[in-house]
Amino acid sequence: MVAVNSNVPSQVWVGDRKIGTTPVEFPFNYEEEVDMQSKRQNYWQTNPATAAAVTVLSFGAYVPFSFIAVEPTIDSQASGKYLKNQFVLRLEAEGFEPSTNSVDCNGQEKLQINVTLNELRAQ
């Protein structure tokens, strides 16, 4: 969520899209890169004495170990790098110089932006 406020009521634009008049809030969605890490797989572990006894009692039908992975583990971890997280914010108010700023979002839950517009000078 992005919240924009200014010293005077101003029209807020994000790129070519009009958002509203300050104070205003709007959603801005972007992505965070994720690092995938695979870990060693775990296999069934058995007791060799029990495995031998079950093998004899079942006439050789029991295999005392397994080459089939029971639990492959893959972990994902946030990398701290963000994608498509920039936008151009423009504020306009009659009798004031327009303000244009490039904004970067870096994982904030709510980004508060305060803009001060300067009065136009008489020529």
Counted domains in the chain: 2
65 plus 26 within the same structural domain:
no
77 plus 36 within the same structural domain:
yes
What pLDDT does 101 receive? 92
- Cα–Cα dist 13/16, whole Å: 6
What pLDDT does 19 receive? 93
38 plus 76 within the same structural domain:
yes
37 plus 74 within the same structural domain:
yes
**Phi-psi category of residue 121: left, alpha or beta, with phi > 0 → left and psi -120 to 50 → alpha:** beta
State whether the Cα torsion 52-54-60-65 is positive or negative: negative
What pLDDT does 95 receive? 92
What pLDDT does 104 receive? 86
The stretches in the chain having pLDDT less than 50 are: none
Range of 35's domain? 31-82
What pLDDT does 74 receive? 72
